[in-house]
Amino acid sequence: MRRALASLAVALCALSLTAGCGSDDDGGSGGSGSKETKVIDVTIKGDSVTPNGDRVDVSVGQPIELKVTADAAGEIHVHSSPEQELEYDEGTSTVKLTPIDKPGTVDVESHALEKTIVQLEVR
Ligand SMILES: [Cu+2]
């Protein structure tokens, strides 16, 4: 699972057009229970979303940020309980999620595009 995550991070970095990869070094010694902010790069262009339904592991209570790069403003829907509706602007913006306090799978979606961006595997 860890290896899959690492390659996901690499893939996301490769997709990111802006510099700044490397500041969020996830591959370090961090054992279980890490509460470092999980940063997920999201690119929304036209009617395509990257990532598109990938699973991302997070810990219960871990801070989560979406770094959204979009060609138009919109809204992200987080199927946590309670649900979260988070707006983003055109260009690059950082969207903070309220940490999720229960284990489970939480879908993060764009309803406008009818796409699942990521599924958070909260454990
Ligand atoms: Cu939704």
What is the CA(31)–ligand 1 centre distance, in A? 32
Residue by residue, pLDDT tens for the chain (123 residues) are 555 555 545 544 444 444 344 444 444 444 455 589 999 999 999 999 999 999 999 999 999 999 999 999 999 999 999 999 999 999 999 999 999 999 999 999 998 899 999 999 999
Would you give the DSSP letter of residue 32? T
CA of 54 to the centre of ligand 1 (A): 16
